[in-house]
A and B are shown apart, each in its own frame.
Chain A
């Protein structure tokens, strides 16, 4: 099937879609964690996904990245269906993510962590005959990614000796280093102090518009300001979707969050 890239015929939408999800459903035993979810994120859009604990937000990310396979439905990245593309291939197609629970290489330096992110997309990763520390282009690119998150001065520090806030930024640096078209951020502000939040917000705002960002976040103050459109998930279903003011004003949002 050939179709022009970035134009996916979908119900009621002819606009180009950077990340699309169509009728995605997933159950764990009897528990439906994702129920017929539809998402359509435009190129360059900043999308916020909110919902109470257990709403299925991280599961939705895992379905998009392919770490979990859906029971039905499809995932579309830049006009191409990727539902059955192995998860390890998806970064090569321009999809990157960060983790809510920090998932880094604790025995290595910050620089090596970011270098591993770069190496993942390079054919050098199979090479057993050269020294990784002499691949200057990799190291330069890794330092550049660290500079974007303001950690260049700590590049050679072992990860074990860094603070929680610094590790959150390493997570983001690793995703940015891969130069993604679509970036999934899973609670990038979780556990950060007020100053750290300000720093991370500034660095997210500095990401150019050719990157589409989908973010899960509980901190409404930072998140609402960042996002253009908001999707509210509850028990695996999309309850409300719309602009910032629409979602905040919607009575169902109140109901989900306040329980009345």
Chain B
């Protein structure tokens, strides 16, 4: 079995598990947890475009996530349909991303991080204080989920499948993006911006477009969120939400596709499942992150691959008789 075949097989098994999840996961509660993981995975994948592939660490992405959610929720509240609300939510988040990008891309590194943090806080401030529009701390209620192709999404299972479809589309877009010439350009600007400029690339514009792409998918996750929760409040846009998304990306492994998904699963499971048994679940989450950063500073997914390879090669050294055959087979 070649590495590519193994990867394809693992992908098929993962897909099968995801599609059959409502039947084996054991109850509505866990189906809802799975929906949450998927919607946060979309968010983490979006953030990973900038953090992992662009080398631009943003602490304001919860602001973009919330802007799309608020825009759609307010449209719905004012009697517009789901289609109009979702399209407006996405248009608003693209415009907001453009504004964020123009301001934040004046800097890279710590400067970029601080500007995005400030922008995220401005969104939070508006959501909290502009009560005439956002109802302040009371938030906005979202009544009813859309019915794409006449299928009701009101049950946990049907909403899970809708989320799964969106997640798979976003994952597909990310896969394509990473392998595309534009993805290669973005990674080039992360590793050698000066060289990229000297090779004829417009470094600023590449980063700007990547920011829009990242903002768009953050907005998609925000729309899933309001339909999942039927509610949005300023809490969604606060710094802690941005930090959580960043932790998902970093703990799972930046610049990988699987990493942010695994990171999203860890954070959501800790927040929802473990908190039912451990009162100080926040501390447990902290300990897990410290352990990850200590033993796998590159993140859980690349770190596990590294340890697995290490274990595999030491096992092969101990069993030299079988080693040549294995090598020929792979």
Q: Residues of A with Cβ closer than 8 Å to B?
A: 65, 67, 87-92, 97, 99, 103-108, 112, 115-117, 119-122, 124-133, 135, 174, 178
Contacts and interface: CB of A to CB of B under 8 A. Distances in A.
Given A116-B188, A127-B181, A97 B198 contact: yes
Given A128-B177, A128-B182, A91 B199 contact: yes
B199 A131 contact: no
B229 interface: no
Given A67-B194, A116-B188, A128 B180 contact: yes
Contact of A129 (B176, B185, B188, B200): B176
Interface in B195-227: 195-203, 209, 213
A163 B201 CA distance: 27
Contacts of A91: 198-200
8 contacts: A107-B191, A108-B191, A112-B184, A125-B201, A128-B181, A129-B176, A129-B180, A178-B200
Given A125-B181, A129-B176, A130-B180, A116 B197 contact: no
Which residue among A99, A104, A105 has the maximum number of chain B CB atoms within 10 Å of its CB?
Answer: A105
A88 B181 CA distance: 18
Contact of B201 (A65, A88, A127, A128): A88
A106 B191 contact: yes
Which residue among B185, B187, B196 has the maximum number of chain A CB atoms within 10 Å of its CB?
Answer: B185
Interface residues of B, number: 25
B63 interface: no
A88 B203 contact: yes
B192 interface: yes
A174 B196 CA distance: 11
B180 A131 contact: yes
Nearest to A121: B200
Contacts of A108: 187, 191
B184 A116 contact: yes
Contacts of A125: 181-182, 185, 201
- Interface residues of chain B: helix, strand, loop or mixed (majority): helix
B22 interface: no
Contacts of B195: 99, 103-105
Contacts of A178: 199-200
A120 B180 contact: no
A191 B194 CA distance: 22
B213 to A, nearest CB: 8
Closest 7 A/B residue pairs (Cβ): A120-B199, A91-B200, A120-B200, A128-B182, A128-B180, A103-B195, A131-B179
Contact of B179 (A97, A121, A124, A133): A133
A120 B201 contact: yes
A130 B182 CA distance: 9
A105 B180 contact: no
A127 B179 CA distance: 10
Interface in B132-181: 176-177, 179-181
Which residue among B185, B198, B202 has the maximum number of chain A CB atoms within 10 Å of its CB?
Answer: B198
A105 B200 CA distance: 15
Given A119-B181, A126-B182, 15 more contacts: A67-B197, A103-B192, A103-B195, A107-B191, A108-B191, A116-B188, A119-B185, A120-B196, A121-B199, A125-B201, A126-B181, A128-B183, A130-B181, A132-B179, A178-B199
Given A128-B176, A131-B179, A132-B179, A67 B184 contact: no
Nearest to A116: B188
A67 B203 CA distance: 13
B178 to A, nearest CB: 10
B199 A105 contact: no
Nearest to B194: A103
